[in-house]
Amino acid sequence: MEKKIIPLVLFIALFPLIFSTFQASLASAEIRINEFEQNPLGDDKGNEWVELYSSTQVDLGGWRLVNGDNGSFPLNGTIDGYLVITFSSLWLDNSDEKVILFDGSNNSVDDTPLLSDSRNDAFAWNLCESEWKFLNSSKGGENRCDNSSGGGGGGGGNTSGNSTGGTGGSGGNSGKKNKNETIRVRSNLSTGSTEEAPTFAGNPKITFLEKPSSLNFGQVASVKANFLADADYPNLIFFFYTEPKRVVRDFSGEQVTKASRGASTAISVRAYSGEEIGFSLPLNIVENCNKYYPEGEYEISLAGFYLSGQEWKSFATVPNFPLSLSFNDELCLGTGQDLQVKANGKQAQQAQTAGASTQLLLRGKIIKSIGLWLLIALTAVALFIIWKKKLM
């Protein structure tokens, strides 16, 4: 009888370990590397980023990103939806770079192929199903995989699986930062010549395709817009702000003003004369747990800038829209920080935000509850068998 009891007791003892391993595997399956920018417009330092996506809430405690040079970047907080991790230093190489995501148990959850970007513009590598495409950045939102204006990151085409992506723009590039790379000039297909300098009119047509009419304080919405270029715009920056009551925040919780071109919620795109592009722009509203800002209607303003020579200029006319804001105490998590919550109720917190409230995904809670009751039941059965044995 004792021999029959031993396996049962061993199973009960090992069940918590088995269950925790299964739960970690479930969380890992929900999260992926969705997009990354290794050669952003302007200075790379402080502007490189990697975007993760998870369809459910996952605790990132103990998780980390690793680059092609085996550099490690620790993650924390939680993810539910899109999460943009911005690096304060030069962390991604412009050539032959890859990113690997490890979970808290040091298991490799996802990785990218070797990819390169020598263009120093608004394009980034986007995951489109199982294929990586070089497209206009959709930072903080759904990838625009139907955008046909993408190309290789410096001469190469798109890539899938773990094959090598576009090569660097100049020969002999070791993969390290090359700040002497030149911006590639668009070719004139009709003559085979090159345009030496773009022309700017500064009066394009910008329209909103999808925008919210009301939100709660502490929410993030994705606004879809359309841009019809009246001239060549190799470098464009867009972001939202409000004046005088600054209820719009970037992903680090900082106020966004009309001059905040470097805000983490700003996106960079490019368009040429006659080209029509669509883009998604995050609108991040302050959490406002202390109710400093009143409920009511606010005017959401779009800031649009283009680079003319060495000078950034703003568009003369850009569209605005009214937005009704309301309190929702459930979004105040008690952290004292402006956490971002997706418009559909999902939280999209910046990875560097410290002290975020750690929560387990809802599915994990359900499974944990079932597992706990199963453990109690097995323990009760084991005790009953031992008791019966003593009676015999």
The string of DSSP codes covering 311-346 is EEEE-S---EEEEEEE--GGG--SSSS---EETTS-
What local confidence, expressed as pLDDT, does residue 43 receive?
A: 82
Over the stretch 139-156, which tens digit does the pLDDT of each residue have?
888 888 875 445 555 444
Rounded to a whole number of angstroms, the distance between the first and last alpha carbons of the chain is 11
Contact 176, 44 (CB under 8 A): no
Is the whole-model pTM more than 0.75?
A: no
Contact 47, 39 (CB under 8 A): no
Over the stretch 29-48, which tens digit does the pLDDT of each residue have?
579 999 999 988 778 888 89
Q: In Å, how far are 31, 253, 287, 332 from 336, measured between CA atoms?
A: 27, 11, 9, 8
Contact 39, 117 (CB under 8 A): yes
Per the DSSP assignment, residues forming a β-bridge with 238 are 267, 304
- Residues 203 and 222: their CA atoms lie apart, in Å, by 24
Over the stretch 178-209, which tens digit does the pLDDT of each residue have?
333 222 223 222 333 333 334 456 678 899 99
**Coil vs helix vs strand at 132:** strand
For residue 60, give the nearest of 339, 264, 351, 337 by alpha carbon: 351
- Residues 16 and 22: their CA atoms lie apart, in Å, by 10
